[in-house]
Amino acid sequence: MIIAPSLLAANPGRFAQEAQRAERAGGEWLHLDIMDGHFVPNISFGPALVQTLRPMLRVFFDVHLMCSRPEILLDPFAKAGANSITVHVELGDKVSSLLWKIKSLGKKVGLAINPPTAISTVQPYLTQIDLLLVMTVNPGFGGQSFIEETLPKIQQANAWRRQKKLPYRVEVDGGINFATAAECARAGADTFVSGTCLFGQRNMKAAVKKMKSIVTAQASSK
Ligand code: DX5
Ligand code: ZN
């Protein structure tokens, strides 16, 4: 079970300190949301920030590209120090070549799916990926409410993984708090992105510990 604090929820004027706070709190991954103002109606940050943070931190950098043209960003984020790079299945025809390119750069390969998109669209790529990111809100903004209708997709992602004996992680992203993390863990998720809930805590270390123990308990009681 991995807890991945999402830097999008941090105060942008203090990104470096906030990223260090997330690491000290025990978040094993740092989730980095890249928004291009086209694939989603918002803009976040780019490779320069990732490159600046990299030498300050030891955590795994989980880069989530919510971008229409990720092909122009793979090299820059790989060089900046991403450990995994995730692209969206909604990009259609170019998904396969994007996944190959990420692998060829020596990075973990992620594929994300938005709430309205049918889970069957990811099926052709399951053998190519290290990470399946099931969006549990419509991407673009932090602080939204979890969409319950995404739970069956998490269950399906987990069922395929078991049936096909594949090693990909099932990551959830959007509206994840202690209660929704538990629901996702019961459905089969093992990697939990959480922005607002974790960064909003005065004691983030206790919050990461609590979320981790909740999801671990749910998974082992299945
Ligand atoms: C949504 C992003 C999320 C977001 C999650 O577009 O992909 O990673 O930061 O934030 P919270 O936990 O605030 O919903
Ligand atoms: Zn994200």
Assign 3-class secondary structure to the chain. Answer: CEEEEEHHHCCHHHHHHHHHHHHHCCCCEEEEEEEECCCCCCECCCHHHHHHHHHHCCCEEEEEEECCCHHHCHHHHHHHCCCEEEEEHHHHHHHHHHHHHHHHCCCEEEEEECCCCCHHHHHHHHHHCCEEEEECCCCCCCCCCCCHHHHHHHHHHHHHHHHCCCCCEEEEECCCCHHHHHHHHHHCCCEEEECHHHHCCCCHHHHHHHHHHHHHHHHHCC
What pLDDT score does 221 carry?
80
Which ligand minimizes its atom distance to the CA of 86? 2
Nearest to 177 by CA among 133, 220, 137: 137
For residues 57 and 24, the answer to whether their CB atoms sit within 8 Å is no
Which ligand minimizes its atom distance to the CA of 139? 1
Cα→Cα distances 193→4, 59, 176, 181, 220, Å:
5, 14, 7, 9, 20
Q: How many domains does the chain have?
A: 1
> What is the number of the ligand 1 atom nearest to the C-alpha of 7?
9
What pLDDT score does 131 carry?
98
What's the CATH code of the domain at 45? 3.20.20.70
> What is the number of the ligand 1 atom nearest to the C-alpha of 64?
7
* Set 33, 62, 130, 190: catalytic member: 33
What pLDDT score does 219 carry?
85
For residues 131 and 169, the answer to whether their CB atoms sit within 8 Å is yes
User: How many A from CA of 219 to the centre of ligand 2?
Assistant: 22
Interatomic CA distance for residues 187 and 152, integer angstroms: 7
Interatomic CA distance for residues 150 and 94, integer angstroms: 25
Range of the domain at 162: 2-220
Residue nearest to atom 5 of ligand 1 (CA): 174
Provide the greatest CA pair distance for the chain: 46
Radius of gyration in angstroms for the set of CA atoms belonging to the chain, rounded to a whole number: 16
* Backbone φ and ψ of 130, nearest 5°: -100, -15
pLDDT digits (tens, 9 = 90+) for 199-213: 999 999 999 999 999
Interatomic CA distance for residues 85 and 65, integer angstroms: 7
What pLDDT score does 137 carry?
98
User: Which residue ranges of the chain lie beneath pLDDT 50?
Assistant: none
